[in-house]
Amino acid sequence: MRHPFLSPTVAMIIGLSAVAPRPVMAQQIADPTPLPQVAYQGRLLEGGAPVTGARVFVFSILDATGHELWNSGNQTLTVDVGLYGVVLGSTGMPPIPASVLGKSGLLLRVAIGGTPLTPDVDILPAFQARSAWELVGAFSGDLTGTQNQTLLSNLQGIPLDLTTTAPTTGQALVFNGSKWVAGSVAGSAGPAGPQGPAGPAGATGPVGPTGATGAAGPQGPAGPTGATGAAGPQGPVGPTGATGAIGPQGLPGLTGATGATGPVGPAGASPLSLSGSNAVFTTGSLGLGTTTPNASALLDLTSTTQGFLPPRMTTVQRAAIATPATGLLIYQIDGTAGLYEFNGATWTPVTPAGGGSGTVTSVATSGPLTGGPITTTGTIGISKATASADGYLAAADFATFAGKGSGTVTSVTGSGGTTGLTLGGGPITSSGTLTLGGTLAIANGGTGATTAAGARTNLGTAASGANGDITSLTGLTTALSVGQGGTGQTSATAALNALLPSQTSNSGLFLTTNGSGTVTWGAAGGSSPWNLSSGNITNNNPGSVFIANNLVLPDQAKGQAAALMIQDTGDTPKPFLHAYSGQWGAAMGNVFLGESCGNFIMSNNGGNVGIGSQALYSLPDYQPSSALIAKVNGIVTEPSAAG
């Protein structure tokens, strides 16, 4: 689609066609008739603003059906405040054939950067100065050269030389006695004269020169074509020259004898046959560069050093092909050069490398365009713009719009409206800062408050700590910290360890409190002389230890003893009373008084009492139960029944 945001606003087209020169005298030589050219001036806007800078244009001349007849190729032009001008067919462009401008209904299409401007412009013929094309011969006198290159060589007969020494800034024409040359007109400065008396005040000086003329305004519409002038009188016909005498006819030569007809040669081996002026190949595959052409190809071109070169021609030459066949390929060398294919209706560029292909199944439209969706054929239209709808801009409306010019912002201020916000700092007439303040109202997405408590009150949320309305929490990715009412952990064991005081070096201790909210590790019983450590109960009281009721020693596995130990100050604790649940057998309730009992084996005996080191060790296995054994100085007393 051609983009409407780039559009010429003023265009002046002058079609110049060649005019046959008036007959001249034999001794005069006429200058060649110049090729036709088209002068064009346009105005370029981008985003509604006049453009200033260089742009790359492509100009095309189309016939009444939109078929391209001529293309200028890429032309870099300078645009000044939206205005640009060009002479089509001039130097740097292909010449415009004289037959092109003789057609009616011609259009000029302008494209910038590959984007055509809209709309196409009608090319209208205009009058021209006929005599300017019919100056013949060379000039004489002070002017030399011809009509295409006129030079001022003399001033009133005196030679003018500005090529031997080129003029520089501040110089003037100076006569050196033989010719006019560039030189300085100021002589050397003389000595300063005495200071004269001050003269009377001079008269007011003349008004200064008028300032430079502003940029030319847009070209107005072409005026109506003037009436055709009356035909001039027919000049007299010159006399017909005398016909020269016919020379004598020469004698006819003798006819030579006809030679004998030679034998018919063998039939040629070429697969091509002649059909009129065409060479025809009707069977098999034709291979160039290969002796085994591919059977699926009618023409197989094979080479590693050469390519396929299709016919090369200009746009105009391409347009002159009579009834081109669908699928015909040519390479265009001017305009947008490249490989072109005739699709049955128009010439289109062949899809470049990397380009895709496909089929358009539907074309949708949206305002201001109308006519869609188009799934087969249809017309896309556009309506005229109104105060409430987009659309095209009529010429009269555009002229009004283009004449609006530009302006300057003189003051800027601001207001928060009903949002609850304020916008201070205005009005700003040169430079300044607008400051946003206030609180955003709830209706505009804010809280209407400047504090968290005020925001909760305005929004109707629960006050801090009042979480009875919270029934569940989901979506948490991080555990709540202790400060947030959690444990900071994700498992029960880790949560208990996080809430307890440090357990390092506090094995065997119990939690204790001072009654004021401080929890620490402490021994069982608090200030009691009894201490528990690693499963042992100790008493460091140097006085008497009183046990009010029974002292129960824990049951132990076989071979293990529960013992009462005594410790002298600074000494290692030593056991003095042992109670065995069983020692390598089924015996129960053996008691030993002493430091060590040794390793003894009893199968059935129980209820024995041993006194002395390893007394029970010496107890025979056959000893009945309830015996008293004593070992003093290595001598074991005989067992006796306890009584």
d(CA 272, CA 279): 6
| 419, 441 Cβ separation under 8 angstroms | yes
d(CA 608, CA 618): 12
d(CA 45, CA 43): 7
Do both 124 and 23 map to the same domain? Answer: yes
**506 within domain boundaries:** no
Longest dimension (CA), the chain: 194
Q: How many CB atoms lie within 10 A of CB 93?
A: 18
Q: Considering its fold, how many domains does the chain have in total?
A: 5
What DSSP character marks residue 486? Answer: S
Tens digits of per-residue pLDDT, 51-94?
Answer: 999 999 999 999 989 899 999 999 999 999 999 999 999 989 99
CA dihedral 594, 600, 603, 606 (to 10 degrees): 0
Handedness of CA 288, 293, 295, 300 (dihedral sign): negative
Burial class (CB in 10 A: 0-12, 13-18, 19+), 556: middle
Do both 81 and 62 map to the same domain? Answer: yes
| 40, 88 Cβ separation under 8 angstroms | yes
What is the pairing mode between strands 286-288 and 299-301? Answer: parallel
Do both 68 and 91 map to the same domain? Answer: yes
pLDDT at 23: 39
Q: How far is CA 548 from the centre of its chain?
A: 93
Query: Which of 162, 178, 204 delimits the end of a domain?
Result: 162
Do both 82 and 46 map to the same domain? Answer: yes
pLDDT at 584: 42
- The reply to whether the predicted model has a pTM over 0.85 is no
Do both 602 and 634 map to the same domain? Answer: yes
Q: Which domain holds residue 616?
A: 561-641
Task: Please compute, for residue 124, the number of CA atoms within 13 A of its CA located in the half-sphere on the CB side.
Answer: 12
Do both 583 and 516 map to the same domain? Answer: no
**525 within domain boundaries:** yes
| 639, 619 Cβ separation under 8 angstroms | yes
Do both 633 and 580 map to the same domain? Answer: yes
Local structure of 158: helix, strand or coil: strand
Tens digits of per-residue pLDDT, 513-552?
Answer: 877 778 887 765 555 556 666 666 666 666 555 565 555 5
Among 96, 95, 59, CA closest to 76? 59
**371 within domain boundaries:** no
Give the bridge partners for 125, in sequence order.
15
Q: How far is CA 247 from the centre of its chain?
A: 87
| 630, 618 Cβ separation under 8 angstroms | no
Do both 527 and 587 map to the same domain? Answer: no
d(CA 151, CA 145): 6
**631 within domain boundaries:** yes
- Please give the structure tokens belonging to residue 507: 């094995």
Do both 95 and 146 map to the same domain? Answer: no
Do both 26 and 110 map to the same domain? Answer: yes
Do both 30 and 119 map to the same domain? Answer: yes
| 345, 324 Cβ separation under 8 angstroms | no
Local structure of 149: helix, strand or coil: strand
pLDDT at 336: 92
Mean pLDDT by 10 residues, the chain (643 residues): 40 37 42 74 89 94 92 94 92 89 88 88 68 60 75 85 87 88 76 82 81 80 80 80 79 78 73 75 82 86 90 94 92 94 93 60 83 85 82 80 74 78 79 82 79 79 54 71 77 81 77 78 62 64 57 50 57 61 49 56 56 59 57 58 45
Cis before 119? omega within 30: yes
DSSP 298-320: SEEE--SS------EE-HHHHHT
**459 within domain boundaries:** no
**112 within domain boundaries:** yes
d(CA 152, CA 216): 30
Do both 153 and 48 map to the same domain? Answer: no
Radius of gyration of the chain (CA): 61
| 433, 426 Cβ separation under 8 angstroms | no
d(CA 20, CA 16): 13
pLDDT at 582: 47
Give the bridge partners for 577, in sequence order.
564, 593
**572 within domain boundaries:** yes
d(CA 301, CA 425): 79
**105 within domain boundaries:** yes
pLDDT at 37: 86
